[in-house]
Amino acid sequence: MNFAWMAWTWPTAIFFITIFALIAAMGVWEYFRPGGDPRVGILRFETTRGDRLFISLLGSSFINLAWLGLVDTNLWWSLALSVAYAILVFRYV
Amino acid sequence: MEKTWNNKAWFLVLPVLLLVGFSAVIPLMTVVNYSVQDTFGNNVFFWSGLTWFEQVLHSRRFHEALLRNLAFSFTILAIQIPLGIFIALNMPRKGIGVPICLVLMALPLLIPWNVVGTIWQVFGRVDIGLLGRTLAAMGINYNYATDPVAAWVTVIVMDVWHWTSLVVLLCYAGLVSIPDAYYQAAKIDGASRWSVFRYIQLPKMHRVLLIAVLLRFMDSFMIYTEPFVVTGGGPGSTTTFLSIDLVKMAIGQFDLGPAAAMSIIYFLIILLLSWVFYTVMTNYDSGR
């Protein structure tokens, strides 16, 4: 199979590998602690681990877009901010 | 009864995963790959980093198309939802009127998008269209090809004509599910028409209304065919909505990189809005 038409680059490959690894890690987590850990956090509705990952990823995309649009083209800072945001989401949402 | 838990059942989802992978995930990955590269065709790509994202985020053209699209979506929601509720409330509940009304309501929904566009394109023409000529005879300056206000009015009226029925049918389904006992109780209590609407009909319609809002918002946020057929995005770019702009960029100008970056941003906005709607909908249900 030839995937040249998909125009792969290393940065985008790493991006997708990271996302798939996160989803796989969620599967492993679910295997050891089944049930998805539902709870009501600061958003005042019930979220599971999967919801929290989704909120983290979606929020991170907007953090990075906002950083690129408003602050700077160096996205390492916004990536760090996204990680901090994800930790907060997993802790409090 | 105890539920049977068997995680092997998840394997039954595998065909769907394959299908989604083939039809959505792989194309999406390709778009992401395109968005960080430049190409002059021939499947040769050059790394360009975040240039296209920066360009789209700072482009006035994108901001204007986004604002236009949001304005369009909220305008049609502000018209279609109250109008749909109003019509549904006034539709007969029994007798021969029911099938007649339902069929009449369903008719616009059966017409394909491009045909709706063509109908309104001809209907509104000043030289041969019934609407255009009538308005002109009444002394109203109406020409959707040159006047932005006329173009907007045409596109909005066309969408209202095409899709209000969907809201009506959904609301009607919610209304007929209310048992007569509710109305009898309201009558005994001497409830006003407004109270009946506010405390019986609206709560019963809440769920279908949320679905109607979600469907109408999504559909209007991706609107392409009708305005493309009627105005072609014009006059100028006054009715160029996001998808029209995106297609112009991707296929008209063959700027695959910027178009890919724009479609990713577009996708993320839709994802965010759908998630908000979905969360509000499901939590309203579980909260009741």
**Per-residue model confidence (pLDDT) at position B285:** 64
Tokens (6 digits) for A45: 């509705």
Mark yes or no for CB contact B30/A6 under 8 Å.
yes
- Check if the interface score ipTM surpasses 0.90: yes
Q: Identify the CATH class of B61-256+274-287.
A: mainly alpha
- pLDDT tens for A42-88 read 888 888 999 999 999 999 999 999 999 998 888 899 999 999 999 99
**Per-residue model confidence (pLDDT) at position B278:** 81
Residues on chain B bordering chain A, Cβ-to-Cβ distance under 8 angstroms: 26, 29-30, 32-34, 36-37, 39, 43, 45, 47, 50, 53-54, 57-58, 265, 268, 271-272, 275, 279, 283, 286
How far off is chain B from A17, nearest CA to CA, in Å?
11
What residues contact B240, with CB distance under 8 A and at least 6 apart? B65, B68, B233, B234, B248
Helix (H, G, I), strand (E, B), or coil: what is residue A47? strand
**What range defines the domain where residue A32 resides?**
4-92
At which residue do the structure tokens 């005042």 appear? A44
**Per-residue model confidence (pLDDT) at position A49:** 92
**Structural contact between residues B175 and B200, judged by C-beta atoms closer than 8 angstroms:** no
> Nearest CB to A58: which of B39, B50, B275?
B275
Residue type, B199: Y
Give the burial class of B107: count Cβ atoms within 10 A of its Cβ; 0-12 exposed, 13-18 middle, 19 or more buried.
exposed
**Per-residue model confidence (pLDDT) at position B54:** 92
Domains: count for chain A: 1
How far off is chain A from B274, nearest CA to CA, in Å?
12
**Per-residue model confidence (pLDDT) at position A37:** 85
| Distance in angstroms (rounded) separating the CA atoms of residues A47 and B275 | 13
**Structural contact between residues B80 and B88, judged by C-beta atoms closer than 8 angstroms:** no
Residues of chain B falling short of pLDDT 70: 1-2, 285-288
- pLDDT tens for A4-46 read 888 899 999 999 999 999 999 999 999 898 888 888 888 888 8
The residue of chain B nearest to residue A12, with distances taken between CA atoms, is B33
